[in-house]
């Protein structure tokens, strides 16, 4: 699954440092478990915002934290979504 998004991303590190939120264009392949999470949530009646949050969590893990191999404890805020496309 690939997620392509244009949204405001802000970062907060565990040490308390921050990166001011800004609009970013990000396209990232996500592992199959993220597709499973999206489909399961949709089947369980998740709304659009909840589905966007799942995609944002996947982007946070894979793009910003490199599948949790770096930037441990980095918080990622995903707001002001202008566009989000999901390809299977």
Model pTM above 0.85: no
Domain that holds residue 35: 2-87
Q: How far apart are CA 77 and CA 79, in angstroms?
A: 6
- The mean pLDDT value for 75-86 works out to 86
Predicted local confidence at residue 18, as pLDDT? 58
Flag whether pLDDT at 86 surpasses 90: no
Helix (H/G/I), strand (E/B), else coil: 30? coil
pLDDT tens sequence across 50-73: 998 898 899 989 998 888 788 777
Predicted local confidence at residue 52, as pLDDT? 87
Sequence-distant (≥ 6) Cβ neighbours of residue 10 within 8 angstroms: 18, 19, 20, 21, 22, 76, 77, 79
Flag whether pLDDT at 44 surpasses 60: yes
Name the DSSP letter for residue 46: -
Total of domains in the chain: 1
């Amino acid at each position: 699954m690939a997620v392509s998004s244009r949204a405001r991303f802000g970062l907060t590190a565990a040490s308390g440092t921050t990166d001011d939120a800004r609009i970013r264009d990000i396209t990232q392949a996500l592992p199959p478990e993220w597709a499973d999470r999206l489909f399961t949530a949709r089947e369980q009646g998740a709304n659009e915002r909840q589905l966007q949050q799942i995609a944002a969590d996947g982007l946070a893990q894979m793009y910003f934290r490199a599948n949790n191999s770096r930037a441990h404890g980095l918080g990622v805020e995903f707001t002001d979504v202008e566009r989000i496309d999901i390809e299977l």
